[in-house]
Chains A and B, each alone.
Chain A
């Protein structure tokens, strides 16, 4: 018996290695076999943890499924009568202890590796406390609002400097949401009444996509976010000048247009392009702050006067088509 096992060992090892190699190749090409290619140190460490678990669980998977297939093949009935019994083995204590201890060992390795990697994932890099950028993310039905250190705000597009630690304070203004940019780390829920934190450090300039990961209502799917990592100069430019000039457009397109259409032509919500309320701040403001009578959420329940003014200016100029031209 042991000789037979020894003969088969190389074959088994070969099969195991071949499967792992294939899996590795698939993972490298990333057709969805690992989390997305990381562009932040915390995301990188998460991927390392993922890779280790993948290798260990893949090995267990191959062992179990191989045994299953081999047993099915080897011990198939081959026309034996139903009343022919196999050996009446009721158990084997040592063997059972072995396959209890094996998983314990594997899981201990995984847990230990997680604890080793944890500081690099959860802790904000301490050395950069001075020049880290603190930004507040406020999740709303159905948009993201970003508050920059100088008071500037943006909607759905988060501008950050590359190679700098960005420390996010995450809140919600209504229901649960979840902040998630896969290439820049894991999820952090935005929960009303709570303040959560996370961080990332983009290692290249570019745009990183993500979307809300906690079901938050009818437009959950539309609640996308973009992180735009630029040079430090471009970032300063953005928050000092562009952000406030662009706020009205960003608010309309990021907040109102989700339901009312990019030109206010209507969609899930009614058409508003011809609605005179767009030119009446005294009526528009309570609508934004408290929501509408029917389905409209209180999208601007904590907006500043400047935010409301930016929106009023924008819709008056670019969206409102006059009471007659609508229809």
Chain B
């Protein structure tokens, strides 16, 4: 294929500052659109979390009403999962995968643009549901039947919620297929499967999982929509429907979804740690195959969310053992990351801080998961704040720390300017401390008997103490996030961000061969890849050739 050297947007009106973003099919711009949109959604979801924390600070608080609380709780979960984490990973994948494998763009650039714009439509539909007749959905992000049926949740908020998730599923499915085709077909010369960056492995697995489990969600939600709108009764027990069926279908999607959200973050960690340890990743193959292993087992563990519904003990035992098996490849990753830092030359730039923070916090989330996998113990802790603590350690302490590490790491590649390191470090420490202050006490609250999703509580004493501490922690974290906003503002609006060359971190992978920011067609030429670390090879060759 001949490389185009003329302007990429030859029609004049398409070259406008805004118009060029609207019509773009460039994977890098689409990636940035994804990331920026997801960060705006993150601010919205975070604001809802702060409102909930304010309501829970003291017992018998009346800061928001019961109904509002239920709406906040439902929308916070839905926004963070479907509008923030899954699409921001698609954003990183979009920006990075073609660059990392030495491709010119994604396999289907127009489909790629379609994915982004349907994602934005899904966001709009979900947020607009606040204005529907009786408010947005308020049956939890899981929308368990029969509570989410029309009889118990009247109004159209729930219908908009279903519509939005359908739109987002289409977006994610198109994106996932695009990633798969790109990774399988567009790797540059020499980029074999054992040389692709581990983040690409993670995106491959992310995509396989999305293709495998999104249809289950779509089917379940379609049945729910039919129940609500067309008078069917798939999940209405009084008319012969089955409530548990919904839970099975939902969690068959819902548990792999956790790994859809966390595996790409693990991929980012696997990129960042070696670069800032000045060492190769320890056990490339083990990490790549454990990613695949986690993906496979993630589809066999769904009913560990349902231990209390009264399944036969044999099934409980099966899902306990499968859930424990999945801890093994997770453990492999953690030990391999630790070994990567062993005897390295550890440089604590902000991406590295977030990567190390990921290891520290994700370990906690992984270990508290073992309590939940052991089903008799789960009978005590499920549906309490213990679970809330557990999955925030995985999805915030894990995934979001990974995402911020990734943002600081790839920011110069995306925008050509560095974010300020000192502000970055301040942000990290505020978030790390705030996170633990906010979520560690939730384990205790759960064990003290505080169920999740309650609007208020009537106990003083320890319940109040821990809730108060937790709210303070959420405040500390939000200051950290404001520091990030300030950092971006200073770097870009005030243009203080230091301009950098192709490879400011002395990294290993191919995206650092491109300019910062990369030219529209990414590379004028791509070096022949002979290892998993083409940029290091290149640096060494240059060093040898120069006297």
Interface on A for B, CB 8 Å cutoff? 31-36, 43, 45-46, 49-50, 53-54, 57, 60-61, 64-65, 67-68, 71-72, 75-77, 80, 82-92, 95-96, 99-100, 102-104, 107, 110-111, 114-115, 117-118, 121-122, 141, 174-176, 178, 180, 182, 185-189, 191-194, 196-197, 209-221, 268, 297
Query: B345, A46: Cβ atoms under 8 Å?
Result: no
Within the complex, which residue of A32, A33, A99, A122 is in contact with B331, where a contact is CB–CB below 8 Å?
A99
B416 in the interface (beta carbon within 8 A):
no
B364 in the interface (beta carbon within 8 A):
yes
Query: B243, A176: Cβ atoms under 8 Å?
Result: yes
Shortest distance from the beta carbon of B410 to any chain A beta carbon, whole Å: 17
Query: A194, B360: Cβ atoms under 8 Å?
Result: no
B66 in the interface (beta carbon within 8 A):
yes
Shortest distance from the beta carbon of B234 to any chain A beta carbon, whole Å: 12
Shortest distance from the beta carbon of B227 to any chain A beta carbon, whole Å: 14
Chain B positions within 8 Å of A49 at CB level: 374, 376-377
Query: A90, B243: Cβ atoms under 8 Å?
Result: no
Query: B279, A64: Cβ atoms under 8 Å?
Result: no
Query: A90, B284: Cβ atoms under 8 Å?
Result: yes
Nearest 4 A/B pairs, CB to CB: A186-B379, A32-B444, A193-B237, A196-B310
In the complex, besides A89-B280, A92-B283, 9 extra interface pairs with C-beta distance below 8 angstroms are A36-B449, A68-B341, A77-B345, A99-B332, A100-B328, A178-B308, A194-B310, A215-B70, A268-B66
Chain A positions within 8 Å of B522 at CB level: none
| Contact flag A187-B379 (CB < 8 Å), given A77-B346, A218-B66, A218-B67 | yes
| B interface secondary structure, majority | helix
Chain A positions within 8 Å of B374 at CB level: 49, 53, 110-111, 114
B359 in the interface (beta carbon within 8 A):
yes
Query: A32, B445: Cβ atoms under 8 Å?
Result: yes
Shortest distance from the beta carbon of A82 to any chain B beta carbon, whole Å: 5
Chain A positions within 8 Å of B310 at CB level: 188-189, 191, 194, 196-197
Query: A68, B359: Cβ atoms under 8 Å?
Result: yes
Within the complex, which residue of B70, B243, B505 is in contact with A218, where a contact is CB–CB below 8 Å?
B70
Cα A57 to Cα B241 in complex, Å, equals 41
Query: B453, A35: Cβ atoms under 8 Å?
Result: no
Chain A positions within 8 Å of B125 at CB level: none
Cα A96 to Cα B382 in complex, Å, equals 33
Residues 328-346 of B, flagged 1 when their CB comes within 8 A of A and 0 if not, give 1001101110110111111
Within the complex, which residue of B243, B317, B448 is in contact with A191, where a contact is CB–CB below 8 Å?
B243
Within 8 A of A (CB), among B64-99: 66-67, 70
Query: B146, A174: Cβ atoms under 8 Å?
Result: yes
| Contact flag A76-B383 (CB < 8 Å), given A46-B377, A88-B280, A89-B282 | no
Cα A96 to Cα B334 in complex, Å, equals 11
Query: A75, B317: Cβ atoms under 8 Å?
Result: no
Chain B positions within 8 Å of A64 at CB level: 334-335, 338, 359, 363
Shortest distance from the beta carbon of B461 to any chain A beta carbon, whole Å: 10
Shortest distance from the beta carbon of B135 to any chain A beta carbon, whole Å: 11
Query: A84, B376: Cβ atoms under 8 Å?
Result: no
Query: B66, A96: Cβ atoms under 8 Å?
Result: no
Query: A221, B455: Cβ atoms under 8 Å?
Result: yes
Query: A86, B309: Cβ atoms under 8 Å?
Result: no
Shortest distance from the beta carbon of A126 to any chain B beta carbon, whole Å: 16
Cα A286 to Cα B46 in complex, Å, equals 44
Which one of B380, B384, B452, B453 has the highest number of Cβ atoms from chain A below 10 Å of its Cβ?
B380
Shortest distance from the beta carbon of A21 to any chain B beta carbon, whole Å: 19
Query: A46, B376: Cβ atoms under 8 Å?
Result: yes
B50 in the interface (beta carbon within 8 A):
no
| Contact flag A213-B383 (CB < 8 Å), given A174-B146, A192-B237 | yes
Chain A positions within 8 Å of B347 at CB level: 77, 82
Which one of B324, B345, B441, B445 has the highest number of Cβ atoms from chain A below 10 Å of its Cβ?
B345
Cα A95 to Cα B335 in complex, Å, equals 10
Cα A220 to Cα B343 in complex, Å, equals 53
Within the complex, which residue of B243, B317, B444 is in contact with A194, where a contact is CB–CB below 8 Å?
B243
Chain A positions within 8 Å of B327 at CB level: 103, 107
Chain B positions within 8 Å of A175 at CB level: 144, 146-147, 152
B139 in the interface (beta carbon within 8 A):
yes
Within the complex, which residue of B237, B356, B456 is in contact with A68, where a contact is CB–CB below 8 Å?
B356
Chain B positions within 8 Å of A85 at CB level: 278-279, 345
Within the complex, which residue of A45, A75, A77, A102 is in contact with B342, where a contact is CB–CB below 8 Å?
A75
Query: B363, A61: Cβ atoms under 8 Å?
Result: yes
B285 in the interface (beta carbon within 8 A):
yes
Cα A95 to Cα B238 in complex, Å, equals 57
Instruction: For B142, give the chain A residue with the smallest CB separation.
Output: A215
Cα A43 to Cα B447 in complex, Å, equals 13
Query: A216, B147: Cβ atoms under 8 Å?
Result: yes
B252 in the interface (beta carbon within 8 A):
no
B466 in the interface (beta carbon within 8 A):
yes
Cα A110 to Cα B376 in complex, Å, equals 12
Query: A103, B380: Cβ atoms under 8 Å?
Result: no
Query: B454, A220: Cβ atoms under 8 Å?
Result: yes
Query: A96, B356: Cβ atoms under 8 Å?
Result: no
Shortest distance from the beta carbon of B331 to any chain A beta carbon, whole Å: 4
B104 in the interface (beta carbon within 8 A):
no
Residues 434-455 of B, flagged 1 when their CB comes within 8 A of A and 0 if not, give 0000000101111111011111
Within 8 A of A (CB), among B294-352: 308-310, 313, 317, 320-321, 324-325, 327-328, 331-332, 334-336, 338-339, 341-348
Cα A188 to Cα B374 in complex, Å, equals 15
Chain A positions within 8 Å of B376 at CB level: 45-46, 49, 114, 117-118, 121-122, 186
Shortest distance from the beta carbon of A172 to any chain B beta carbon, whole Å: 9
Within the complex, which residue of A82, A216, A219 is in contact with B66, where a contact is CB–CB below 8 Å?
A219
Cα A100 to Cα B444 in complex, Å, equals 30
Query: B383, A182: Cβ atoms under 8 Å?
Result: no
Which one of B279, B313, B344, B457 has the highest number of Cβ atoms from chain A below 10 Å of its Cβ?
B344
Cα A49 to Cα B144 in complex, Å, equals 30
Query: B338, A68: Cβ atoms under 8 Å?
Result: yes
Cα A33 to Cα B448 in complex, Å, equals 8
Shortest distance from the beta carbon of A260 to any chain B beta carbon, whole Å: 15
Chain A positions within 8 Å of B379 at CB level: 46, 185-188
Cα A141 to Cα B153 in complex, Å, equals 13
Query: B324, A32: Cβ atoms under 8 Å?
Result: no
Cα A213 to Cα B327 in complex, Å, equals 27
Shortest distance from the beta carbon of B446 to any chain A beta carbon, whole Å: 8
| Contact flag A91-B284 (CB < 8 Å), given A53-B371, A176-B147 | yes
Chain A positions within 8 Å of B251 at CB level: none
